[in-house]
Chains A and B, each alone.
Chain A
């Protein structure tokens, strides 16, 4: 049995659907801007943010009616509704699983002194509202594995489908920004006040971004030309809860496990995490070399979208599928001069490809790393 993409949809400040967003990426555009008065933060923040009414309008464009949903929930639904409609699945079926990938969900509802709203702050609450919005009767699963959540969700759901319990899954990744999240990354001194520069010599930190993406997958006998989620793996560095491993241990092991039995040269590219922090990008370069993959083209999307946290794994995988469908390896925006210890095939120009597979990888707090191999048309 194969696990294939049935449909997808994404919503981010660059576009309210996948094609518009990909077009913007291929044109080298970004909504990363320095916001000096956003949420009365003491420091300006360079981020990819929706306009104040951006999420509400994406939600309304899809013909959804408001039922007191929060900004975060509206965004999740705005990405899920068109994907579900196009997939042809019945979301109300007990054979459909809903999976929500998010790092902080509705955390912006935590009020002064942390008071109140504790029920609706929980991602579990939002996941249930999301599933019920589409009439789904099952208990939805929330994946909360820091920045790798979006890939973990795409590893969990295929496993659940392979077990036979479900036929299809709706995988939604979403995060919105709040002073809570921004302050945390600022406290780590991880943020750049300019658009980020993945793998560049001058890179000095990451940008945060808002966005959501939905992937609807199904279990089929024959992949029949569809994008297939072949295999993936999650591995821990067992090294540090907030610092990337210097040896890239977990990322290297996740890549090796993901590519067991697969010829990596079939892959058009490795879409890396590429946050543009000094340590993340160096760690990834070391991991790629150790896994014997440093000869493959590499791309990173953070220079267009920022780091979209729980949405990143979905947004970046969906964009990669559509880019490769067009025969393009998207440029790494912000990259100019190599700035990691291992020579990598990074480029600030789009490259063409006739290959029909790619690897997505992410790393996150807690020492976790994930990789997943996608191939169009199915078998290994």
Chain B
């Protein structure tokens, strides 16, 4: 498999294909959304997990040709540790108040961590596989293996895959990669771990 594009985001900054930039202060995803002049009002309805995953995918995919043409051959397969805990906590706090036991359905839907894969699929017209898995920690081996195994579906030829983690009181932690089925073995555990640790190859 071949690694085409990658983006790493942590408390220290953003590395887009190895090029570093500082993390905007405050809500970095919203700051970048405004800075890049993106027009996508649904962004403001999203919860934090969706916003960061979606915004990172925007940066990753910005240069792609025919980007919004509907396609079925690209899968979105994301992993994290905390699921939708940020939004779950907020949801529980809301329904704790008896006057708010039936909050807006828009709040409940984000208590599912796979919604971020759906948001990316909707934005880009991806009608392929979308999957969300939880692991105790970032695990380069499992991520690479899962993406290889996803190609057992003959309809899948490329993947947007990686780690999108947020938890209450913790820094956001993301690594998103665009990979395809072409033979060039730069998509491996060693390189993925290097990207996670250092943001570049």
Cα distance A156–B81 when bound, in Å?
A: 18
Chain A residues lying within 8 Å of B70, measured Cβ to Cβ, are 238
The 8 Å CB contact of A253, one of B72, B107, B113, B150, is: B72
Residue A76 lies at the interface, judged by CB distance under 8 Å to chain B:
no
Cα distance A215–B155 when bound, in Å?
A: 26
Chain A residues lying within 8 Å of B72, measured Cβ to Cβ, are 235, 253
Residue B171 lies at the interface, judged by CB distance under 8 Å to chain A:
no
Cα distance A123–B125 when bound, in Å?
A: 30
Chain A residues lying within 8 Å of B124, measured Cβ to Cβ, are 238
Fill in one digit per residue for B96-137: 1 if any A CB lies within 8 Å of its CB, else 0.
101001111101110111110111011011111111111110
Residue B168 lies at the interface, judged by CB distance under 8 Å to chain A:
yes
The 8 Å CB contact of A180, one of B92, B98, B109, B132, is: B92
Cα distance A128–B134 when bound, in Å?
A: 11
Asked whether B122 lies within 8 Å of A123 as measured between CB atoms, the reply is no
Given A367-B122, A368-B118, answer yes or no on A113-B96 (Cβ-Cβ < 8 Å): yes
Number of A-B contacts (CB under 8 A): 183
Asked whether A366 lies within 8 Å of B155 as measured between CB atoms, the reply is no
Chain A residues lying within 8 Å of B145, measured Cβ to Cβ, are 160, 163, 165
Between A124, A144, A183, A257, the greatest number of chain B beta carbons within 10 A of the residue's beta carbon is seen for A144
Chain B residues lying within 8 Å of A122, measured Cβ to Cβ, are 81-83, 85, 134
Q: Give the residue name and chain of the A residue nearest to B42 (CB).
A: A241
Fill in one digit per residue for B44-64: 1 if any A CB lies within 8 Å of its CB, else 0.
000000000000000000000
Cα distance A114–B96 when bound, in Å?
A: 9
Residue B149 lies at the interface, judged by CB distance under 8 Å to chain A:
yes
Residue B36 lies at the interface, judged by CB distance under 8 Å to chain A:
no
Chain A residues lying within 8 Å of B115, measured Cβ to Cβ, are 146, 241, 365-366
Cα distance A92–B4 when bound, in Å?
A: 38
Cα distance A234–B75 when bound, in Å?
A: 9
Residue A60 lies at the interface, judged by CB distance under 8 Å to chain B:
no
Cα distance A123–B81 when bound, in Å?
A: 9
Asked whether A112 lies within 8 Å of B96 as measured between CB atoms, the reply is yes
Chain B residues lying within 8 Å of A145, measured Cβ to Cβ, are 114, 130-132
Fill in one digit per residue for B141-182: 1 if any A CB lies within 8 Å of its CB, else 0.
010011011101111000000000001100000000000000
Task: Tell me what chain A mostly uses at the interface: helix, strand, loop, or mixed.
Answer: mixed
Residue A152 lies at the interface, judged by CB distance under 8 Å to chain B:
yes
Asked whether A241 lies within 8 Å of B149 as measured between CB atoms, the reply is no
Interface with B: A13-21, A135-143, A339-347, which one?
A135-143
**Chain A, range 38-92, C-beta contacts under 8 Å to B:** 41-42
Fill in one digit per residue for A214-256: 1 if any B CB lies within 8 Å of its CB, else 0.
0000000000000000000111111111100000011001000
Between B92, B113, B124, B148, the greatest number of chain A beta carbons within 10 A of the residue's beta carbon is seen for B92
Cα distance A197–B127 when bound, in Å?
A: 30
Cα distance A343–B85 when bound, in Å?
A: 42
The 8 Å CB contact of B121, one of A123, A260, A367, is: A367
Asked whether A159 lies within 8 Å of B118 as measured between CB atoms, the reply is no
Cα distance A9–B114 when bound, in Å?
A: 27
Asked whether B122 lies within 8 Å of A238 as measured between CB atoms, the reply is yes
Asked whether A186 lies within 8 Å of B102 as measured between CB atoms, the reply is yes
Cα distance A364–B102 when bound, in Å?
A: 21
Cα distance A130–B72 when bound, in Å?
A: 35
Residue B186 lies at the interface, judged by CB distance under 8 Å to chain A:
no
Cα distance A198–B70 when bound, in Å?
A: 32
Asked whether A152 lies within 8 Å of B131 as measured between CB atoms, the reply is yes
Residue B95 lies at the interface, judged by CB distance under 8 Å to chain A:
yes
Residue B93 lies at the interface, judged by CB distance under 8 Å to chain A:
yes
Residue numbers of A with Cβ under 8 A of B are: 41-42, 103-104, 107, 110-114, 118, 121-124, 127-128, 139, 141-146, 152, 156, 159-160, 162-163, 165, 179-180, 183-189, 233-242, 249-250, 253, 257, 260, 364-368
**6 A-B pairs with the lowest CB-CB distances in the bound complex, closest first:** A366-B118, A184-B108, A114-B89, A142-B134, A159-B149, A234-B129
Show 27 A/B contacts (Cβ-Cβ < 8 Å), sorted by A.
A110-B88, A113-B96, A114-B88, A118-B167, A122-B83, A123-B83, A124-B135, A127-B134, A139-B142, A145-B114, A145-B130, A162-B149, A183-B108, A184-B91, A187-B108, A237-B121, A238-B124, A238-B125, A238-B127, A241-B109, A241-B115, A241-B118, A253-B127, A365-B115, A365-B118, A366-B115, A367-B121
Residue numbers of B with Cβ under 8 A of A are: 70, 72, 76, 81-83, 85, 88-93, 95-96, 98, 101-105, 107-109, 111-115, 117-119, 121-122, 124-136, 139, 142, 145-146, 148-150, 152-155, 167-168
